[in-house]
A and B are shown apart, each in its own frame.
Chain A
Amino acid sequence: MDVISDQNWLLSLGTFLPLAGVLVMLLIPKREELLHKQVALATALGTLGVGIYTLIQFDYDKAEQLQFYANTEWISVIKSGYTIGLDGISLPLYFLSMVITVLVMIYSWDHIPSPGNPKAFLILMLVLQTGMAGTFIAQDLILFFVFFEVVLLPMYFMIGVWGGEQRQYASLKFFLYTMFGSALMLVAFLALFYQTDSVSFSIPYLVEQGINIDQDVAIWIFGGMFIGFAVKVPMFPFHTWLPDAHTQAPTQGSVILAAILLKLGTYGFVRIAIPILPQAAVKWAPVIGVLAVIGIIYGALGCLAQKDMKRLIAFSSVAHMGFVMLGISTLTATGINAALFGMVAHGLITGMLFFCAGSIKERYHTLEISRLSGLLIQMPKLGWILGFCAMASLGLPGLAGFWGEFPAILSAYNPAPALNEPLFRVLMVIAALGTVLAAAYLLWLYQRTAFGEPNPEFTGHGHAHAVGAAGNDEHHDDIHDVNVFEWIAWTPLLIAIVVLGVYPQLMFKVMDPAVTQLVEVFNP
């Protein structure tokens, strides 16, 4: 496999720079909250700067090759190396992780969730950033695994400490679920290692060797990875941690979870499972496709049953990731491209929806759909943004969401030659039904919350005092429209949703060569 090793320090810098910020912050006393925020934001901005530089230096004509490739010894005993590199598949996600972190930092400026302690919160976020970026650049299975797990802990603490009322349960569930998946994944990695003559964990090497593994063995190995990644995606029926984690997580946690963490799973499929074990992928694809489509319908139905806005958005993630997985399961360039696009689009849109939900929660202290109404009157701007995101999320052409869904549906009509065509065509129709349900739950949500007259409970001169808790009352004045930090944090996302929707070529151009190369093996 050809690689480009120019400027190979760039990725390490981009990945580990947040840790430098963490070191600085560790030295600053806890009470210097402003300073902490400044340092954290500066670090995140610096990282983003490195990311932008990477974006500029990336050679788009050779997007199918690993660039900024570095390969040094790391743990030579187990033959694991520090192998990193970036190609068209990982570049968008790598960059997205940096952008999201910055935006979340900005949002955190005046939205540190209770019980406060910005120092710890921001440090966790920076560590999280390192983990996320690292996962996307790792080209070695052990390195990938380490980063994959690094992500887990900060998120566990974020949910467990800054979460809602049931944070203990949610965080533990999140942790155990993912650990369960990772354990199987690790076993699969080791099996892969031993099956390929115990030479290296390097992904490019394994891509070359993996095809030689006996198919029966490969299917089992793929199965292990499948569970590891499917939990993270999350695919039906491994998704039950997601609504709890999302609902309980602080806004920032939800945003990162939706925007980046879920993508680690799908990215794992595209980067590791499918290229290394194509022979097993063909056997597993129908299973993935069917589960994905069940997820689409099931997630949508779950949404319709929700009474809590945040939980609804969480369930909608299950449905959207179903589209992504459907795209992947077709094993075609169109499908996988769609899936990658869908990942980024979902990251932007659902991240934005969680931001909205967080801001609503902050103002109303509830996300119960039946208690909210008339957002458009009380907070016209926020209401419009919510409407915009709902439209983007339900896949309106011209906004980013559509280009994840439609090509996925399209590709399901003609899956890879080795796959069962009628099955995938049936899946296509059911997936299309999912778009209808998406419109139903999102617009229904919007109609119930944004339209109509505001609930007298929150208008200040209603029976607000009857609600009880004295703490609640003093917050009724807080119902203000989008503030400046929110604007700064949200505008880039909103712009990106429109830009990617209007000119999807921006991303497809980057991903296409790498994906085309990836699926070559399926086109005899």
Chain B
Amino acid sequence: MLAHEHEAAGWFLEHAWLIPVIPAVAFAIIIGFGKKLPMKGSEVGIASMLASLVLAVGTTWQWVQRVDAVHGSEGEGALARGVFGFARGLVPRAAEGGEPYVEPVIRSWTWWQSGGIEFGLGQHIDGLAVMLLLLVTFISTLVQVFSLEYVRGDRRYTHFFASLTLFSAGMLAMVLAENTVQLILGWEIMGLCSFMLIGHWWEEQANSRAALKAFFTVRVGDMGLLVGVAILFGAFGTFSIQETSRIAMDPATSQTVLLWASVALFIACIGKSGQFPLHTWLPDAMAGPTPVSSLLHSSTMVVAGVFLVARLYPVFYNGFDIAQNGNSANLIAIIGGITIIIAAGLAFVQNDIKKVLAYSTVSQLGYMMMGLGVGAWTPAVFHIFTHAFFKCCLFLCAGSISHTASHHSFDMKKDMGGLLRRMPITAGAWMVSTLALCGVPFFSGFFSKDEIIDNADHNGYKVFFIVGLIGAFMTTAYMTRATYLTFFGTPRGAAAGEHHDEHGHADVHADAHDAHADVHADAHAGHDVHGAHDDHASHGKPAFGIAGESPILLVFPLIVLGFLAVVSGYINAAPFHIEKFLEWVEPRASEFAPKIDHAVFTWAKAAPSIILVVLGFVISLALCKAVFGEADSKLKGLTQRNRVLGAGHRFLVNKYYLDDLYEKVIVHAVAYPIAQAAYWVNQHVLDGIVNAFGKGGRRTGEWVYKYVDQGAIDGLAVNGSGKAARGTGGALRPLQSGKVNQYGALLFGAAAIGALVLVIVNI
């Protein structure tokens, strides 16, 4: 790396690697000294996230300058290209009539080497990385602020912040990874932290099972990551992402290798990003505290898979032939498309508000994947950006509601309803975010999601265009249902101030926390059996029963995120010809990146999706009113009465029986019959052979003794000769005095005579 290039790139860009390092160090500090600090370590976490945020903002600012320097002045572009390109000995070739490629800021240090292979650590700062750095640090900061109040008094408060901080560090390390090994590193750190955070309240078996399931499911995918990285390295001889991209773009590269690598890597993405068929861990991950869910589901963890595809896009692009004419389907698009539909379907039958959001996340991730699959790189990445804000906001709203209004219950049907007036700010943030999620025009989601759908059509993926539209319809419908249940109608259960003794919820589990029960004992006696709920040792300030708005620490992040849910889309608003995001983030076609084609926005093309959104809203609202609003509705209990609908409902409630398939069939089979069989083989076959050898040896010994020794030798030779000897023996009998000395004397005498004979003979 040459010195003058450092100067050219600017301090923040050059030192972007500090962004993950700061929280990583903070993690160590929190673990080491957190408990002794006045705020139990939370201040360290927040401070580190703030510091990273500042650096990320600086990095973004300088990156924007860098892009503008190349693009803005086309005349000087050649010069800039010379500086950035020539310095690395790589002269980027400008795409046909396209804009020049903006060289990413790459630095790397050798971490270790083995057998001539260097494993490095470093940074690869380009538009994608910058965007995610900013996003992750921003969301993490807000979530930590939210957590200050939300988990106050929790018995593992310090650990919670430590894990959150490390989690962000892992994601950041992955985002700016210079090579695939670093990518794995960040990826796995996130996996570990998700295990710790989802299982935060591990005293309850349900939570620890959810943590185990999350880690394990993701780990199934990780196998693909290991294999994929090994294939890429084996075939290309480099871990560097830039080099990998370059070789993947090279027409001479074998497509078979790329295909295998893509399939392997995509399996990892399926696991991490909760795509069908490995999406089942994601809703279960709701067992963790709400801030965790919101962090996991907005900007970290689950978008890691999408990020991986976006990052190594040349590999997937050429591996799956995404750009090929007449190629109307590929693995990414298919999986993404299926995920959109099935997750949205599941969101309809959830009573737990967080699970609705979880399935909604899965569905939106499906959009991102599908976007990448149909060649709409920029809209998909943009959807990561907008989705992070509104989804994080929605989760925090759910947290705010359960924290303040519904006794830590997340059951929409039992404990919510009519909260619009009581919690105006939360409700406002929720509404805005929901509108953004549904893709209503002029909210952020519209600009990204509609682009994905539009580009699917534009790139010739008709089926996925329709899937996208259906998805938009379903999204609106289930979000309308959730909104209606939460904020409208009459207050129910906890939201109405009731302290019911029992929820009829399916998975009622005894609250085993002594501490918890003690704290609450006076406040609401009898409320020690929850349905779906978050536990923690103390509640916020507001009195229960009559819910007011949540405390400021909870509301503040909501306001910020709600605001962003509206405006963040305008950075790349196609209808208004604002394409800043595209300009800053999208890599230009070059030897490192494929050319990305963009559909031209027209309102006419957007019309179907807008109409479907409206339809979804109207139909869903009507149904909700009918089902939940009116007491004597004919539609109530329809699923019990109508067999077909009932079967469908059951099918959805049971999550397409995928969980049963995994847990009861596959996992159970591996953990019990197969493992037992292997162990049986071990004990009986292999050990049996060993023991049989032992026994066989003994048997042989016995046989030899009985027949050969006793029978043949003893019987014939020995005994036979014995008889002959007996006669002789009789004669010699007197010689046997039985006295040792005498025998000795005989022996020596005989020896002496023998010696004499020898001497005489020799002479």
Residues in chain A within 8 A of chain B (CB atoms): 173, 176-177, 237, 239-241, 243, 298, 301-306, 332-338, 341, 374, 376-377, 391, 396-398, 402, 406-407, 409-414, 428-429, 432-433, 435-437, 439-440, 443-444, 447, 450-453, 503-505, 508-509, 511-512, 515-516, 519
- Interface centre among A176, A435, A451, A512, by most chain B C-beta atoms within 10 angstroms, is A451
Given contacts A240-B686, A516-B115, 15 further A-B contacts (CB under 8 A): A177-B690, A239-B686, A298-B678, A301-B675, A302-B678, A305-B675, A336-B115, A410-B233, A411-B115, A432-B227, A435-B223, A504-B111, A504-B112, A508-B112, A519-B115
In the complex, what's the smallest C-beta–C-beta distance from A334 to chain B, in angstroms?
A: 4
In the complex, what's the smallest C-beta–C-beta distance from B698 to chain A, in angstroms?
A: 13
Complex Cα distance, B231 from A411, in Å, reads 10
Chain B residues near A433 (CB-CB < 8 A):
223
In the complex, what's the smallest C-beta–C-beta distance from A148 to chain B, in angstroms?
A: 21
CB-contact partner of A440 in B119, B192, B233, B671, under 8 A: B671
In the complex, what's the smallest C-beta–C-beta distance from B178 to chain A, in angstroms?
A: 15
B690 near A413 with CB under 8 A, answer no
- 5 A-B pairs with the lowest CB-CB distances in the bound complex, closest first: A333-B115, A413-B234, A505-B112, A304-B675, A305-B679
Complex Cα distance, B111 from A453, in Å, reads 42
Complex Cα distance, B117 from A377, in Å, reads 45
Closest partner residue, chain B, to A333 (CB atom): B115
A443 near B215 with CB under 8 A, answer yes
Complex Cα distance, B380 from A169, in Å, reads 63
Complex Cα distance, B115 from A333, in Å, reads 5
Q: Is B195 an interface residue when CB atoms closer than 8 A count as contact?
A: yes
Q: Is B663 an interface residue when CB atoms closer than 8 A count as contact?
A: no
Q: Is B741 an interface residue when CB atoms closer than 8 A count as contact?
A: no
B113 near A508 with CB under 8 A, answer yes
Q: A396-B188, A429-B227, A435-B223 are in contact. Are A302 and B675 (CB under 8 A)?
A: yes
A397 near B189 with CB under 8 A, answer yes
- Interface centre among B116, B188, B199, by most chain A C-beta atoms within 10 angstroms, is B188
Q: A398-B185, A436-B219 are in contact. Are A410 and B208 (CB under 8 A)?
A: no
Chain A residues near B208 (CB-CB < 8 A):
447, 451-452
- Secondary structure at chain B's binding surface: helix, strand, loop or mixed? helix
A451 near B205 with CB under 8 A, answer yes
A435 near B222 with CB under 8 A, answer yes
Closest partner residue, chain A, to B207 (CB atom): A451
In the complex, what's the smallest C-beta–C-beta distance from B630 to chain A, in angstroms?
A: 45
Q: A439-B219, A452-B205 are in contact. Are A409 and B226 (CB under 8 A)?
A: yes
Chain B residues near A402 (CB-CB < 8 A):
188
Q: A396-B188, A512-B115 are in contact. Are A447 and B203 (CB under 8 A)?
A: no
CB-contact partner of A512 in B113, B119, B231, B667, under 8 A: B113
B231 near A413 with CB under 8 A, answer yes
Complex Cα distance, B687 from A410, in Å, reads 33
Closest partner residue, chain A, to B202 (CB atom): A451
Chain A residues near B205 (CB-CB < 8 A):
451-452
Chain B residues near A511 (CB-CB < 8 A):
114
A406 near B184 with CB under 8 A, answer yes
Q: Is B512 an interface residue when CB atoms closer than 8 A count as contact?
A: yes
Residues in chain B within 8 A of chain A (CB atoms): 110-117, 119, 181, 184-185, 188-189, 192, 195, 199, 202-205, 208-209, 211-212, 215-216, 219-220, 222-224, 226-227, 229-231, 233-234, 512, 667, 670-672, 674-676, 678-679, 682, 686-687, 690, 694
B202 near A376 with CB under 8 A, answer yes
CB-contact partner of A301 in B111, B114, B199, B670, under 8 A: B670
Q: A435-B219, A435-B222 are in contact. Are A443 and B679 (CB under 8 A)?
A: no
CB-contact partner of B195 in A338, A432, A443, under 8 A: A443
B227 near A302 with CB under 8 A, answer no
Complex Cα distance, B225 from A432, in Å, reads 9
Complex Cα distance, B690 from A428, in Å, reads 30
- Secondary structure at chain A's binding surface: helix, strand, loop or mixed? helix
Complex Cα distance, B227 from A435, in Å, reads 11
Complex Cα distance, B185 from A243, in Å, reads 32
A407 near B512 with CB under 8 A, answer no
A333 near B114 with CB under 8 A, answer yes
Chain B residues near A428 (CB-CB < 8 A):
227, 230
Complex Cα distance, B181 from A504, in Å, reads 13
Q: A240-B690, A435-B226, A503-B112 are in contact. Are A440 and B216 (CB under 8 A)?
A: yes
A516 near B219 with CB under 8 A, answer no
Chain A residues near B216 (CB-CB < 8 A):
436, 439-440, 443
B671 near A304 with CB under 8 A, answer yes
B114 near A338 with CB under 8 A, answer yes
Chain A residues near B674 (CB-CB < 8 A):
301, 304
- Interface centre among A334, A391, A443, by most chain B C-beta atoms within 10 angstroms, is A443
Chain A residues near B222 (CB-CB < 8 A):
435-436
Chain B residues near A332 (CB-CB < 8 A):
115
Complex Cα distance, B676 from A440, in Å, reads 15
Closest partner residue, chain A, to B159 (CB atom): A384
Chain B residues near A305 (CB-CB < 8 A):
672, 675-676, 678-679
In the complex, what's the smallest C-beta–C-beta distance from A278 to chain B, in angstroms?
A: 16
Chain B residues near A515 (CB-CB < 8 A):
115
**24 sampled A-B residue pairs with Cβ under 8 A:** A176-B694, A301-B679, A302-B679, A305-B679, A333-B114, A396-B189, A396-B192, A397-B184, A397-B189, A398-B185, A406-B226, A429-B227, A432-B230, A433-B223, A436-B222, A440-B216, A447-B209, A451-B203, A453-B203, A504-B111, A504-B119, A508-B114, A512-B114, A515-B115
Complex Cα distance, B116 from A236, in Å, reads 31
Chain B residues near A376 (CB-CB < 8 A):
202
Complex Cα distance, B532 from A506, in Å, reads 49
B114 near A337 with CB under 8 A, answer yes
In the complex, what's the smallest C-beta–C-beta distance from B105 to chain A, in angstroms?
A: 24
Closest partner residue, chain B, to A446 (CB atom): B212
Chain A residues near B204 (CB-CB < 8 A):
452
Chain B residues near A396 (CB-CB < 8 A):
188-189, 192
A301 near B678 with CB under 8 A, answer yes
Chain B residues near A398 (CB-CB < 8 A):
185, 188-189
A397 near B687 with CB under 8 A, answer no
Closest partner residue, chain B, to A177 (CB atom): B690
Complex Cα distance, B119 from A239, in Å, reads 34
Chain B residues near A298 (CB-CB < 8 A):
678, 682
Complex Cα distance, B603 from A189, in Å, reads 83
In the complex, what's the smallest C-beta–C-beta distance from B324 to chain A, in angstroms?
A: 26
Closest partner residue, chain A, to B697 (CB atom): A176
Chain B residues near A447 (CB-CB < 8 A):
199, 208-209, 211-212
Closest partner residue, chain B, to A428 (CB atom): B230
Complex Cα distance, B205 from A452, in Å, reads 6
Complex Cα distance, B114 from A336, in Å, reads 9
Complex Cα distance, B199 from A414, in Å, reads 39
Chain B residues near A414 (CB-CB < 8 A):
234
Chain A residues near B211 (CB-CB < 8 A):
447
CB-contact partner of A337 in B115, B184, B512, B676, under 8 A: B115
Closest partner residue, chain B, to A443 (CB atom): B212
Complex Cα distance, B229 from A428, in Å, reads 12
Closest partner residue, chain A, to B187 (CB atom): A397
Complex Cα distance, B117 from A387, in Å, reads 32
Chain B residues near A503 (CB-CB < 8 A):
111-112
CB-contact partner of B220 in A241, A335, A436, under 8 A: A436
